[in-house]
A and B are shown apart, each in its own frame.
Chain A
């Protein structure tokens, strides 16, 4: 009866974020470039944009060559997630940016990702780095699926939500993107091996002790409130404490909307099914009413589909960003915390110098100087990192919001078109009948 079936389209989320780096080469980079020159830190530049060559960007007659801007080497896609028993295997497809022909395909488990994160953290000086957050492990057991379903759909709907492989792939893909485009982490051997070597790197068992997390939390609570010497950083710390909580809440509430949409979709579906149950009545007015009900039921299915598509798109656009930054802001907090610790060390070392007895003085001064340098280093790195981070954050959210709105408009339009067809069909339905 229906000719063209129009399905509101699902918009994939931000796997295709390769655009973002290009926008990072805005004027903000000029400040950072200057700093890099004086610092002399090799290879740490702010522009991950592959195409931009340094000589053009600085435009200043520099005696020393400005360091080459970091160019991400790889583009990664997580193309598939396959369940093997209770283990999920992810397929990664990597291409080298400079030479498209070099393609790598590897299979990894979540545990491999964890190991990668561990290597990245331990093999680099991550003090001033906001480490991209690894997405939490996707749950694959039947119980977790049930628990998830109950949470999303409520206790009264007896449906089980399927595994969210799509979402997991996109999350892992985003994680890899953030690593690959990071000026420091992107150069780490671990990520190269992770992406290109067929065999997964051998892992040592990672001990996740509860105590380390606990002591970390306690430490954060104690030192986190320590006043900063620098106004910029104090403000940053205050803001991130506030915003990280708000972002989490926003994400939770947003997901409630998504679940709400799914629940209404189920409600529409139930109603649509109930309309079909009058099949056995075959006489007189019932025939007409059944025809009406059938058409109505199709219309409800359209409405339901529209809602389902909206829910998926919501999750893939704004939901994705809210989720990412809920975790990313935590990473920012951690980085700032590390800096605060260094600051306190420096302050302590300074005090120690004042109190030092003459023979210990030299040592104390050396210790203080060391602490001072470390503190300055981390502050400089942090400042750069923060500028990048916020810039990327703004752009990411802009992208998400635009996609979000676009997706909504599209889904609503498509649903409207389908509903219009249904109403037309209803209006032209022949409702004459022979009374018995």
Chain B
């Protein structure tokens, strides 16, 4: 148990350090207006991330929107006469565009600081996105975490909580899962993944390391962490889902499967799994986690297979837990827990609905991509039959543009999926982990109650012995009473401990939830913006060709 406590903070003057680091990140004075919004936890570090990624886009902006902007708008009014939905704000939009587009540009090329050097500049690809996000987390935890705390003097913080936050703030763990590869053939085949870690935590042997792991290793890690932490109320990030269908396809396929959608999904999932562990102040220090990241060879986690002995035991335990959930009721004396549970359930409902909507959106967008490709083909055929040279050329160009637009749609669909859909699924999984932890607390309460009942019985027995004068049994009874008094005391302590831990965990969950959602939403909106920019680019390229027809 003591191992699970955070080590005492090693740095006394960390707060001034933090300020300096903030300044380093945002050397450009242009950032000043944005920086005033320091209250927000996540705004600062995410901006460099976004900017680095979107910098390329905005650079292109100048070309796109330079002179053309005003020109287009002046051309617009004549057409507006016949427009069915007259938007009188059209002229404003011209200015508005310029203003709006300028402001993001002034954010400037902020130094990525701790951001991975090899993160892709394109925000469109899911993998870099996934990489980018969680490193933002440890960084954000460094800076803003102290800010909400000190600014809310009303919030009481125990020494332990301070320790937890500060130690989490101090150490950065940057983890990437990459290079999936198929090992072997047929039913025995499996995918292996490289896990690269960069860290400044002294407990690790080296600051940077790469190991090879397979899926069952990840499951094994989850198993070990769960065994150690769940019953004391820590929310362990949920294990990555198994997929029999997906894996069987991989096993049976002859060709190089490392680039399929399934593998990419899984790779990103495993990465997020590790990253969530790494930002948990307690879990990140867990020796099993360290071993996972460091050790060249891990003992095969055979107990993760569903048909192993351990698997069967898990099954039984699971059944038992389900039954106990039904049968154990708890008189909730703490309003907080009751409200939280309700809140979590409501959140679960909402997320599931959102997830369904996003899945539908992804489907529609993919279909749009397919339709666009079909039209591109038709246009190419028309171009071939067309006798008028210039029109033929224009049609051929149109076909090319439509093909490029198909790619835009497919990429956006990927973003819909990897950003939104997977995030929602992750959180639905985390909520399940939360439920488990709440349940552990109920079990702890139950234990405590049982101990109290047993103690009462022992006391009754002792009293009876005294009455009936069986003095020989009294000593033993008194011994038992002392034993059970101890157990009751331990039960109470455990219960209070888990309650406290859960409170901290939930708070952490809420903070992370806000950060995660904010980051992802902004990232996603920026992909939408990027799609529009690409459309503009392609159609503007086509326009002269169309005008040159006759």
Contacts and interface: CB of A to CB of B under 8 A. Distances in A.
A208 interface: no
A436 interface: yes
B510 interface: yes
A246 B381 contact: yes
Interface in A244-261: 246-247, 249-250, 253-254, 256-257, 259-261
Contacts of B539: 405, 408-409, 412
A426 B382 CA distance: 45
A158 to B, nearest CB: 12
A281 B347 CA distance: 8
A436 B398 CA distance: 57
A54 B182 CA distance: 80
Contacts of A430: 37, 39-40
A4 B549 contact: no
B525 A7 contact: no
Contacts of B307: none
A398 B379 CA distance: 14
B76 interface: yes
A363 interface: no
Interface residues of B, number: 96
B360 interface: yes
Interface residues of A, number: 90
Given A250-B375, A250-B379, A292-B521, A280 B346 contact: yes
B34 to A, nearest CB: 8
Contacts, number: 269
B549 A398 contact: yes
B378 interface: yes
Nearest to B355: A274
A294 to B, nearest CB: 11
B220 to A, nearest CB: 33
Contacts of B360: 156, 267, 270
A394 B511 contact: no
A398 B86 CA distance: 25
A15 interface: yes
A342 B96 CA distance: 64
A271 B540 contact: no
A427 interface: yes
A242 interface: yes
B263 interface: no
Contacts of A424: 100, 103-104
Closest 8 CB pairs of A and B: A260-B368, A285-B510, A12-B82, A250-B378, A267-B361, A398-B549, A401-B546, A253-B375
Interface of B: 34, 37, 39-43, 47, 65, 72, 75-76, 79-80, 82-87, 89-90, 92-93, 96-97, 100-101, 103-104, 148, 151-152, 154-155, 336, 339-340, 343, 346-347, 350, 353-354, 357-358, 360-361, 363-365, 367-368, 371-372, 374-375, 377-379, 381-382, 385-388, 390-391, 394, 398, 507, 510-511, 513-515, 517-518, 521-522, 525-526, 528-529, 532-533, 535-536, 539-540, 542-543, 546-547, 549-550
17 contacts: A6-B92, A8-B87, A9-B79, A11-B83, A246-B382, A256-B374, A263-B364, A292-B517, A292-B518, A404-B546, A405-B540, A416-B532, A419-B528, A420-B100, A427-B43, A433-B148, A435-B510
Interface of A: 4-12, 15-16, 23, 156, 166, 239, 242-243, 246-247, 249-250, 253-254, 256-257, 259-261, 263-264, 266-268, 270-271, 274-275, 277-278, 280-281, 283-286, 288-289, 292-293, 295-296, 299, 303, 306, 390, 394-395, 397-398, 401-402, 404-406, 408-410, 412-417, 419-424, 426-436
